[in-house]
Amino acid sequence: MRSLVRRRIELVARVGGLLALGALVFITPAWRGRVTRSADDAGLAPALIAASRQPTEQLQLNLAAPPDPVQRSWLAALRGAGTRVTWRIADATLVPPTALIAERLPGPPAASRALIQVITTPGAKVVIADDYATLDSTVASATGVVTWVGPAPAAGSVTMRTANSRAAAYADTVPDSRAILVLARAGWEGKFVVAALEESGWLVESEFLVAPAGSTPPLQGPPTASPPLTGRSVFVRTRGAGVPIDTSRFSAVVALDATSARRSASIIAFVRSGGGLVLGPDAMIPAFRSIAPAVPATRRPAAIGDPDPHPDSARSRLSLRTLRVSQGAVPLEVAGTSVAVAAGREQLGRVVAAGYEESWRWRLLGSDESASGHREWWSSLVAAAAARRPAQPPRPNLVYDPLPFAAAIQALGPPSAPAGDAPLIPWRHILFLTAMLLLLAEWTSRRMRGAR
């Protein structure tokens, strides 16, 4: 009886051992024609090729930096095809999560400027470069932010390096070919606003009213080669100023006085469809009341006269129509306790109202820096209002990777912990050990009872 029980136990041990061996064969990828690969940075490219040529059960990556966008896409494709991709960063302190933002600042097309921002770990050393040269090398602030403003990068491409992290972004640097239209009566303010904008690099069209229709009496005397200026309005226009005002031709209109009233309907439609409008104090007329961000209140007389040592303080001494800001608008500049410049939105467009009168006096009567101050101030007003051109797409061959670490996690899942490579349950070892123990026990039992 005992012998029968012993034989049955031996049989169970043999069958169990063989089943364990079969299971081991079944779960071992190499025996099913599938392999496990591992690679570091140098071996990643060959591993990708090999994994694409031969079915691969698992690809284990031990990298110094996140894979680049091409490798990332390749790995994501392998993952989608069934390969288990695990990755980890060898030294996570050298690969801080980073973000790179690059965008063209609104401004004159001839002086294109860009804003580049890097977000990384506080105190990290950051190098910003474009296609041709290093733009800046600095240390991230306590909040982990680096902000750089300067000439637009060559070809729009921007890269950032910090430790082993590298990010690439694109700032649209294609200049906006649309013009700024200045409307005014012939006078110093219009002349010097046009001069300031042109000197800043804006394309400017202008329309100056010299004499409204019927405003001047006909000259007595016989007909002459030069007819008198009567019967119709007389304008001094640049070539492109007389065309309809729309966002395909102009990015902003600067209306300096009430002469713009005759085109107010088209200007309002222009603003509502995305254009910008800058209103001088004499242009805050009833025709623009519905879209103006402010209405003029009191007048503060000018104090400017002798050359002023500081260009900005010279502006503060100009004659000012203080502004009462409309609901929904915001003050952009305050002079003392009064609002001097305000801005608001009108559907898709923006309107800026400036209360300073005769700003040309700042340019002529201020210090030697006044001309540049006047120029930059007017350029900033127009830039605040001007319509943004839709961003141009990056170049096709540009590697665009502003969030390398986050993109790797999105594509491949989170990186593995350093000790996390081994599976939680080592099934192959368990099965092998089980098979060996069962077969050894069965063989030992048989030998001990004298059987073969």
Partner 1 sequence: MIASREALPAEFVFATAQYESGDWDSAPLVPANIIDTIARYTSIPVAPTGVIVSLGSADALRYPFLFMTGHLPVRLTGAEREVLTRFLGRGGMLFVDDHNHDIDGMFHRTATEELERVAGKLTRLSTRHSLYTTPFPWPDGPPNTSHELNGWGDNLIHPYLMASLDGDRIRILYSNKDYSSEWNFHPDNKRFYSVDNTRFAVNIIVHALTR
Instruction: Please give, one letter per residue, the 3-state secondary structure of the chain.
Output: CHHHHHHHHHHHHHHHHHHHHHHHHHHCHHHHCCEEEEECHHHHHHHHHHHHHCCEEEEEEEECCCCCHHHHHHHHHHHHCCCEEEEEECCHHHCCCCEEEEEECCCCHHHCEEEEEEECCCCCEEEEECCCCEEEEEECCCCCEEEEEEECCHHHEEEEEECCEEEEEECCCCCCCCEEEEEEECCHHHHHHHHHHHHHCCCEEEEEEEECCCCCCCCCCCCCCCCCCCCCCEEEECCCCCCCCCCCCEEEEEECCHHHHHHHHHHHHHHHCCCEEEECHHHCCHHHCCCCCEEEEEEECCCCCCCCCCHHHHHHCCCEEEEEECCCCEEEEEECCEEEEEEEEECCEEEEEECECCCHHHHHHCCCCHHHHHHHHHHHHHHHHCCCCCCCCCCCCCCCECCHHHHHHHHHCCCCCCCCCCCCCCHHHHHHHHHHHHHHHHHHHHHHCCCC
> Rounded to an integer, what distance in angstroms lies between the CA atom of residue 404 and that of residue 427?
35
Q: Is 358 in the site for partner 1 (CB under 8 A)?
A: yes
Residue type, 444: T
Q: Is 206 in the site for partner 1 (CB under 8 A)?
A: yes
Q: Is 239 in the site for partner 1 (CB under 8 A)?
A: no
Q: Which part of the chain contacts partner 1 (CB under 8 A), choosing from 84-92, 210-218, 327-335, 386-394?
A: 210-218
Nearer to partner 1, 166 or 361 (CB): 361
Among 221, 328, 390, 396, binds partner 1 (CB under 8 A): 221
Q: Which part of the chain contacts partner 1 (CB under 8 A), choosing from 80-88, 104-112, 359-367, 394-402?
A: 359-367
Q: Is 405 in the site for partner 1 (CB under 8 A)?
A: no
Under rule CB under 8 A, which residues in 307-336 are in contact with partner 1?
Answer: 307, 319
- Nearest approach, Cβ of 282 to partner 1 (angstroms)? 10
Q: Which part of the chain contacts partner 1 (CB under 8 A), choosing from 34-42, 66-74, 201-209, 423-431?
A: 201-209
Please state the separation of Cα 203 from the chain's center in Å: 25
Among 60, 188, 246, 297, binds partner 1 (CB under 8 A): 188
Q: Is 143 in the site for partner 1 (CB under 8 A)?
A: no
Under rule CB under 8 A, which residues in 157-186 are in contact with partner 1?
Answer: 185-186
Nearer to partner 1, 140 or 318 (CB): 318
Q: Is 306 in the site for partner 1 (CB under 8 A)?
A: yes
- Picking from 344, 326, 259, 337, the residue whose alpha carbon sits closest to that of residue 300 is 337
Q: Is 270 in the site for partner 1 (CB under 8 A)?
A: no
Q: Is 228 in the site for partner 1 (CB under 8 A)?
A: yes
Q: Is 187 in the site for partner 1 (CB under 8 A)?
A: yes
CA distances from 379 to 74, 110, 287, 316 (A): 47, 12, 25, 17
Q: Which part of the chain contacts partner 1 (CB under 8 A), choosing from 3-11, 14-22, 83-91, 354-362?
A: 354-362
Q: Is 209 in the site for partner 1 (CB under 8 A)?
A: yes
Q: Is 192 in the site for partner 1 (CB under 8 A)?
A: yes
Among 229, 285, 384, 398, binds partner 1 (CB under 8 A): 229
Q: Is 360 in the site for partner 1 (CB under 8 A)?
A: yes
Q: Is 356 in the site for partner 1 (CB under 8 A)?
A: no
- Nearest approach, Cβ of 358 to partner 1 (angstroms)? 7
Nearer to partner 1, 154 or 229 (CB): 229
Q: Is 397 in the site for partner 1 (CB under 8 A)?
A: no
Q: Which part of the chain contacts partner 1 (CB under 8 A), choosing from 4-12, 115-123, 363-371, 427-435?
A: 363-371
Among 234, 297, 409, 441, binds partner 1 (CB under 8 A): 234
Among 365, 384, 398, 409, binds partner 1 (CB under 8 A): 365
> Rounded to an integer, what distance in angstroms lies between the CA atom of residue 320 and that of residue 255?
17
Residue type, 59: L
Q: Is 260 in the site for partner 1 (CB under 8 A)?
A: no
Nearer to partner 1, 263 or 363 (CB): 363
Q: How many residues bind partner 1 (CB under 8 A)?
A: 45
Cβ-in-10-Å burial (0-12, 13-18, 19+) of 355 comes to: buried
Q: Is 105 in the site for partner 1 (CB under 8 A)?
A: no
Note the residues at the interface with partner 1 (CB under 8 A): 185-188, 190-192, 194-195, 198, 206, 208-212, 215-217, 219-222, 224-226, 228-229, 234, 236, 302, 304-307, 319, 358, 360-361, 363-365, 368, 370-371
